Amino acid sequence: MSEECLICKEPLEYLQEDVEMECEICHKKENSKTRCVNGHYVCSECHMQGIDSLIGLCLKETSNNPLKILNKMMAMPFCHMHGPEHHVMVGMALLTAWKNAGGDIDLKKGLTEMYSRGRTVPGGACGFWGACGAGISTGIFMSIATGATPLGEENFGLAHKMTASALGAIGEIGGPRCCKRDSYLSIQKAVEFVKEHTGIEMEQSPAGCGHSSRNAQCIQTRCPFYRQGRTDGSR
């Protein structure tokens, strides 16, 4: 079980109240509910170092399959087993596939906005807010793709319905959290939702996750994507 704390690899613990902590990498002090059992803390900014490279990856991508795009992102060095990087990656994969499937969007502008919005969703939102960041990322995607604002009408509703659909699927499986599982569920729901509500058809492929050996809380056969022994995210 090789990935928990980025400093010592020991398990993480989640507190019920904020505690002031100092990031082991940049030494910034801030309040958080998450640390490892040895007291180490890594802030979201340091946890996601390198994620800005995704914009270049997406601009070169030709696939309209968001799951395949997401798996490429998950294979990059900055992506950990769990972490707030998934709150950005899900939306970026969807925006890229949407564009390649015929969606009308300035992709570079959309990706930059997705990066800006997604990175503000904190790690642990799944448990502490009751709203997984991967699911929220689908709503951000829909908002950007349709140009929604707080004063929007139909697109305002679509963004909320998209988030609700993804979070509903995540809630049906239950916990403990798994950023890979929740990202796959969110992508699947988004592909279905987009086809139904916009007519744009992104390619859908079955997901199979082989990250189990990196996840100390893997629910294994209770997860619809569990594929023992696979490490490439495919069947």
Render pLDDT for 103-136 as a digit per residue (tens, 0 to 9): 999 999 999 999 999 999 998 999 999 999 999 9
CB count within 10 Å of CB 168 equals 12
Nearest CA-CA partner of 2 in 79, 71, 83, 81: 81
Dihedral sign of CA atoms 123, 170, 114, 94 in order: positive
Are 67 and 207 in contact by the 8 Å Cβ rule? The answer is: yes
Q: What local confidence, expressed as pLDDT, does residue 170 receive? A: 97
At 233 the pLDDT is 40
DSSP state for residue 16 in the 8-state scheme: E
Helices (H), the chain: 44-47, 54-60, 66-74, 86-100, 107-118, 125-128, 133-146, 154-173, 179-198
Residue 206 banded pLDDT, cuts 50, 70, 90:
confident
